[in-house]
């Protein structure tokens, strides 16, 4: 295992560093201390060509300017909270609203727009190396109660796995539902898009959305709908569908409920018929939100080419969005004395 560090630019006069982990097979995972953000994951294709299979920039400045959430740690709460308001311990909490009338991805600025402390651990003969990012989110940040200490650990293994481990504790009852917003494009070039990627999910139900992308509270059977990925199907399924949910969202931006009993199998996977790359994911979270960069507006470039819709696909493992308003959506409340822990693993190979 090897590790390295380089200057990646600066934000508000403060230097930003990118850290890279590399295993003996040449796979690399890179992340920066601004936003605890994944900047690149490099894996070989069927011909052994090593390429970045995520959307990312070659310096920090576009991340700070455009805030596209590429590879970002999202929090305190991933997704949207209706009106940014909820009841907690008989008190009304009002968060900042930053997407229409709703609170989105922790507010602005949120986890993705702050500096994190970093500790890198690499040992030449170890089967795993890691980057541990730490951030203290102060009481009332974007309206959230409590001083929240968060650690996000990224590990790279010799089995070509990228592990994410979240831990957190708070001194007041609050909400916590983090995710990572990495976008995969297994072709190694965002210009190719991801609509021909094949996706398979061990999921029997999905959560439909209102017009403002807040979940309705229903959980619907995927059968006979473009949300049925129990058998592998191309991601363009949703783009070509006339289903009202996919039409209004230009494709998928939906939570899929993950089946609980997978008997050690992956919760889901995507693969690319062109490069033969595959990513499988394993998580202890209840759901995965699948988003295809549907609303990319061509405001910026990667490697000299304008980023277009459907250039990448995010597999955001998390508890269901807006869970605080839906009793059937699981628990996102974290109390003093409790220790939050969650793990998601992305495993990379070839088909």
What are 88-125's pLDDT values in tens digits? 999 999 999 999 999 999 999 999 999 999 999 998 77
C-alpha closest to that of 35 among 51, 11, 58, 54: 11
Q: Which two tokens stand for residue 311?
A: 């250039």
CB of 316 closer than 8 Å to CB of 288 = yes
- Provide the pLDDT for residue 264: 84
Convert the pLDDT of each residue in 30-82 to its tens digit.
999 999 999 999 999 999 999 999 999 999 999 999 999 999 999 999 999 99
Convert the pLDDT of each residue in 193-205 to its tens digit.
999 999 999 999 9
Convert the pLDDT of each residue in 310-340 to its tens digit.
999 999 999 999 999 999 999 999 999 999 9
Q: Quick one: pLDDT band at residue 261, thresholds 50, 70, 90?
A: confident
**Tally of structural domains, the chain:** 1
Write out the residue range of the structural domain in which residue 305 sits.
2-350
- Provide the pLDDT for residue 70: 98
What percentage of the chain has pLDDT greater than the value 90?
A: 97
Helix (H) or strand (E) holding 40: strand 37-44
Helix (H) or strand (E) holding 149: strand 148-157
CB of 44 closer than 8 Å to CB of 23 = no
279 forms beta bridges with 270, 348
Residue 284: pLDDT above 90?
yes
306 forms beta bridges with 301
- Provide the pLDDT for residue 123: 81
Give, in order, the Cα–Cα distances in Å from 58 to each of 33, 187, 189, 252, 303.
14, 18, 14, 28, 8
Mean pLDDT within 207-231: 98
- Provide the pLDDT for residue 177: 98
Based on DSSP, count helices (H) and strands (E) in the chain, helices before strands. 3, 30
The position carrying tokens 């991805």 is 105
What is the dihedral angle through the alpha carbons of 292, 298, 302, 304, rounded to the nearest 10 degrees? 150
The DSSP line for 234-285 is ETHHHHH---HHHHHTTS-EEEEEPPS--TT--SEEEE-TTT-EEEEEEESS
Residue 262: pLDDT above 80?
no
Supply angle C-alpha 70, 348, 263, rounded to 5: 110
- Any idea what the CATH number is for the domain that residue 13 is in? 2.70.98.10
Q: Is 316 a catalytic residue?
A: yes
Length of the chain in terms of residues written: 351
- Provide the pLDDT for residue 186: 98
For residues 177 and 285, give the distance between their C-alpha atoms in angstroms, rounded to a whole number. 10
The position carrying tokens 């970093």 is 118
Q: Is 297 a catalytic residue?
A: no
pTM passes above 0.85? yes
Among 103, 104, 105, 181, the active-site one is 181
Convert the pLDDT of each residue in 146-172 to its tens digit.
999 999 999 999 999 999 999 999 999
Q: Is the dihedral of CA 27, 17, 33, 125 positive or negative?
A: positive
Q: How many CB atoms lie within 10 A of CB 218?
A: 12
First to last CA, the chain: 25
- Preceding peptide of 109 cis, ω within 30°: yes
- Preceding peptide of 76 cis, ω within 30°: yes
Mean pLDDT within 256-277: 94
For residues 257 and 259, give the distance between their C-alpha atoms in angstroms, rounded to a whole number. 6
* Per-state percent for the chain, helix, strand, coil, to nearest 5: 10, 45, 45
CA of residue 167 relative to chain centroid, distance: 16
Backbone φ, ψ for residue 219 (5° rounding) = -125, 115
- Provide the pLDDT for residue 216: 98
Q: Quick one: pLDDT band at residue 250, thresholds 50, 70, 90?
A: very high
Convert the pLDDT of each residue in 295-305 to its tens digit.
998 899 999 99
| Mean of the per-residue pLDDT values of the chain | 97
């Amino acid at each position: 295992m090897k590790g390295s560090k380089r200057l990646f630019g600066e934000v508000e006069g403060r230097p930003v560093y990118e850290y890279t982990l590399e295993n003996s097979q040449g796979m690399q995972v890179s992340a920066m201390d601004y936003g605890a953000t994944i900047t690149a994951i490099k894996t070989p294709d069927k011909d052994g060509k090593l390429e970045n299979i995520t959307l990312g920039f070659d310096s920090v400045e576009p991340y700070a300017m455009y805030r596209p959430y590429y590879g970002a740690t999202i929090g305190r709460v991933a997704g949207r909270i209706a009106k940014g308001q909820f009841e907690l311990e008989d008190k009304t909490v009002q968060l900042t609203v930053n997407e229409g009338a709703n609170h989105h991805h922790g507010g602005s600025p949120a986890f993705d727009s702050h500096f994190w402390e970093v500790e890198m651990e690499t040992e030449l003969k170890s089967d795993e190396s890691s980057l541990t990012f730490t951030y203290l989110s102060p009481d009332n940040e974007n309206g959230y109660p409590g001083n929240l200490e968060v650690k996000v650990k990224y590990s790279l293994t010799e089995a070509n796995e990228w592990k994410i481990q979240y831990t957190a504790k708070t001194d007041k009852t609050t909400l916590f539902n983090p995710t990572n917003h990495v976008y995969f494009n297994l072709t190694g070039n965002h210009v190719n898009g991801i609509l021909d990627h094949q996706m398979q999910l061990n999921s029997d139900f999905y959560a439909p959305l209102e017009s403002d992308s807040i979940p309705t509270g229903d959980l619907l059977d995927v059968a006979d709908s473009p949300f049925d990925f129990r058998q592998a199907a191309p991601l363009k399924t949703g783009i070509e569908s006339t289903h009202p949910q996919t039409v209004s969202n230009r494709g998928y931006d939906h939570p899929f409920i993950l089946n609980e009993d997978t008997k050690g199998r992956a919760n889901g996977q995507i693969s690319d018929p062109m490069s033969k790359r595959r990513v499988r994911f394993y998580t202890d979270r209840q759901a995965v939100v699948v988003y295809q960069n549907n609303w990319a507006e061509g405001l910026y470039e990667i490697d000299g080419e304008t980023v277009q819709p459907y250039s990448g696909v995010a597999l955001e493992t998390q508890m269901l969005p807006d869970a605080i308003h839906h009793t059937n959506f699981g628990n996102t409340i974290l109390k003093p004395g409790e220790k939050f822990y969650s793990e998601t693993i992305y495993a990379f190979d070839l088909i």
